[in-house]
Amino acid sequence: MKIDHLGVAVQSIEEALSFYERVLGITASGIEEIPSQKVRVAMLPVGESKVELLEPTDPSGPVGRFIEKRGEGLHHVAFRVEDVEAALDRARDAKVKLIDETPRRGAHGTRIAFLHPASTNGVLIELVEAS
């Protein structure tokens, strides 16, 4: 297991990319819209991990509500797992509160599921199974 990515909520991917490209020299591997999650995402490779910029496409979606309540910033930590269903089963057995009972489609064809921050020391955790 390793860190797959850090999710960062932003108002505008284009504005955020300006910082990452100009100051840190990191280029996005592409921008993708995920209508089911009401976001656009840009992945920025950093070594073996990535920074995922999350721009809400609807203020009523999860990232839109997050920004409204907390402002821009760190949204979640994503861990790469071999089998997202098995990881959900382990979390369920440990009485962790789940946001997703079953995996759903994430960016770039991944399968993902979220664990509720109430059970994870206040940090939203994403489980990511690469395609």
- Annotate 1-39 with DSSP letters as a single string: -EEEEEEEE-S-HHHHHHHHHHTT----S-EEEEGGGTE
Count of domains for the chain = 1
Is the pTM higher than 0.85? The answer reads yes
Position 63, amino acid? V
Nearest residue to 19 (alpha-carbon basis) of 69, 62, 72, 71: 72
DSSP assigned state of 97: P
Long-range contact set of residues 94-98: C-beta below 8 Å, sequence gap at least 24:
95/119, 96/120
d(CA 17, CA 42): 9
Q: CATH number, domain at 106? A: 3.10.180.10
Query: 27 lies in which domain range?
Result: 2-129
Tokens coding 112: 């993902």
Could you read off the pLDDT tens digit of each residue along the chain, which spans 131 residues? 899 999 999 999 999 999 999 999 999 988 999 999 999 999 999 999 999 999 999 999 999 999 999 999 999 999 999 999 999 999 999 999 999 999 999 988 899 999 999 999 999 999 999 87
Answer whether 50's CB lies under 8 Å from 79's CB. Answer: no
